Chains A and B, each alone.
Chain A
Amino acid sequence: MKKYFPFILLLIITACSKPEPQKAVVIGIEDIASLTGDYPEKIQVINFWATWCKPCVDELPAFEKLKATYGDQIDVILISLDDVENLETKVNPFLEKHNIQSQVKLLDYPYAAEYIPMVDTHWMEPFL
């Protein structure tokens, strides 16, 4: 029995280190300001999405691949625009189902016209 102990230990460690899917952290507009205002050492890839947005969901694998490939060099941050009421009923179950490994935040702030220019003024250009 004793000689199997290291293997069992290894098994436990392996099982524990299996990456868990992310849970969404609720943020407000002040967090957008700090995310986009202070440039960190690492490059940040910020993607806005929502569980109900089909094209956004379709592109998530590309962001996950980016995270898997360059995760040690860059931060991939997925900002959900789902309603905060759906955090436990839709967003977190979605993250679990799709085993999302990138950081996920849920922006609980409805005034998009205020945070859009904080992210990138080019976001508005096609409409203005």
Chain B
Amino acid sequence: MENGKNKELFKEKAEAIQTLVSSAATPEVIAAYTVDLTADQGGKTIALAGFDEETLAALLPDLKEKAKAKGIEVLEPPFRPHLENIHTGLTPALWGIAQTGTLVLRSADENLRIATMLAETHVCVLDPATIYPSTDELAPLLDAAIKENGAAYMAFITGPSRTADIERVLSIGVHGPEFLHILFKEEKADD
């Protein structure tokens, strides 16, 4: 109930800042959505990073097959050699923040950073169960994540890259992705 409210608010806030949000994404839907979107935009590559083993096993073979059918390459990490030819970055988010429609990505993995920074389009998968109302509720989790041993690179992403530096006119896609698509992961009906 409470989480349904967070999900609704997240969607509303994200859509208000040039982000497209879709629901009920299974691995098949994620693969099809990403490939179709890339093809529609004339993109030739997809860089995928950050998924856990289980999701990857369900997602990757399907993604590769669908991509191949449309002449799109699913890039193999590391992505450093591909800095100038990543069209779509496909990643999961760790958490969401409803109040601002913000994605939180655990980004220490350099490949994930490259996929989300240099792509023209970023497709991000978010589990609605991990959406928190505001940064107040998220603060202890974020604190713990930053303080984990070793390096941390936590990224809040809210909408596509933007600027208003010329005559204060809003313009999308200056250095980062021009398009941000969020896919809500299919919710398990086990309760």
Do A and B pair up? The answer is no
A-binding residues in B (CB < 8 A) = none
